[in-house]
């Protein structure tokens, strides 16, 4: 049954995404950046709805009160990354328009990447080396000034559930320090239900935990990055203890 549901969700996305992307190409030239984001948010809500209705993937948000008082401030969200689920869900669920930081190659992905290129995001050309961060900081400062929140995944890629001692890259913290933005850390245990590089989608509850805002003032990027990493990893063990017990058991064996 899980395979059939996973197949139905894949077929749903295959049918939904191309025409929705084509609609973006048609209407985006007549829309502001904020209205374009709202239009794309409609697609993400349809995906989250389908993931719940077809595959039984529900969600809950803990700590949403930490957003209070931050809606008019520059914010960089730094999140755990286990699945494609949160890249879609965050657009649908966060209280502000989001600006993702991503490698420019994603713009070449048919339909999804093409529509992404028409939104105001931060594109990084990795071939530029050290100049890539200067470009990201400039774009990030512009997006923050326009009222968007920037979101980054400091692990750089999706990590499996229960992974011990993941490496947190400091790019997100550097961007926050460079722009004077606040950082809000987030933990999410989506990998149990929507594993990376897996066709299968499993029913259950995804927990998104929002941490307290952290000021970047008078901190180095390494200090800020370590503070974020410590909170996220501790919170992951609270919201997903079974995954870490399993990891500890395998290591002991």
Confidence bin at 246 (pLDDT 50/70/90): low
- Residue scoring higher pLDDT (110 or 79): 79
3-class secondary-structure state, position 163: coil
Say if residues 217 and 195 touch (Cβ distance below 8 Å): no
Tell me how far apart the 2 most distant CA atoms of the chain are, in Å.
Answer: 60
Say if residues 184 and 66 touch (Cβ distance below 8 Å): yes
- Residue scoring higher pLDDT (167 or 134): 167
Residue 22 has pLDDT above 70, yes or no: yes
Q: Which residues contact 11 (CB under 8 A, 6 or more apart)?
A: none
Distance, CA of 117 to CA of 104 (rounded, Å): 9
Compute φ and ψ for 103, nearest 5 degrees.
-70, 145
Residue 103 has a pLDDT of: 73
Residue 112 has a pLDDT of: 67
Q: For the purposes of burial, counting CB atoms within 10 Å of the CB of 93, is it exposed (0-12), middle (13-18) or buried (19 or more)?
A: middle
Q: What single string gives the DSSP state of each residue in 169-237?
A: PSHHHHHHHHHT-EEEEEEE-GGGTS-TT-S----EEEEEEEPPPB--TT--HHHHHHHHHHHHHHHHH
Residue 202 has a pLDDT of: 96
- Residue scoring higher pLDDT (58 or 21): 58
DSSP state of 105: G
Confidence bin at 44 (pLDDT 50/70/90): very high
Domains identified in the chain and CATH numbers? 2-252 (3.40.1130)
Confidence bin at 140 (pLDDT 50/70/90): confident
Residue 141 has pLDDT above 80, yes or no: yes
C-alpha distance from residue 86 to each of 19, 100, 176, 206 (Å): 22, 12, 21, 10
Ranges 42-46, 86-90, 134-138: which has the least confidence:
134-138
**Each residue's pLDDT tens digit, 97-126:** 999 887 777 777 777 677 777 787 887 776
% of the chain exceeding 90 in pLDDT: 64
């Amino acid at each position: 049954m899980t395979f059939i549901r996973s197949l139905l969700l894949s077929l749903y996305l295959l049918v939904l995404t191309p025409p929705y992307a084509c609609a973006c190409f048609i209407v985006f030239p007549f829309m502001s950046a904020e209205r374009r984001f709202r239009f794309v948010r409609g697609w993400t809500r349809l995906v989250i709805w389908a993931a719940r209705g077809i595959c039984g993937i529900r969600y809950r948000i803990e700590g949403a009160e930490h957003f209070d008082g931050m809606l008019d401030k520059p914010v960089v969200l730094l999140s755990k990354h286990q699945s494609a689920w949160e890249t879609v869900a965050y657009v649908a669920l966060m209280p502000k328009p989001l600006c993702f930081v991503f490698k420019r190659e994603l713009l070449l992905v048919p339909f999804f990447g093409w529509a992404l290129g028409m939104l105001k995001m931060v594109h990084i050309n990795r071939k530029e080396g050290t100049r890539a961060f200067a470009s990201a900081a400039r774009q990030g400062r512009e997006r923050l000034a326009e009222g968007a929140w920037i979101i980054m995944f400091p692990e750089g890629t999706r990590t499996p559930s229960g992974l011990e001692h993941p490496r947190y890259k400091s790019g997100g913290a550097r961007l926050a320090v460079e722009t004077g933005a606040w950082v809000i850390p987030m933990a999410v245990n989506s990998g149990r239900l929507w594993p990376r590089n897996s066709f299968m989608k499993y029913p259950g509850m995804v927990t998104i935990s929002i941490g307290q805002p952290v000021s970047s003032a008078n901190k180095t990027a390494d200090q800020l990055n370590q503070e974020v990493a410590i909170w996220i990893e501790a919170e992951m063990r609270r919201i997903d203890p079974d995954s870490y017990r399993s990891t500890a058991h395998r290591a002991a064996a």
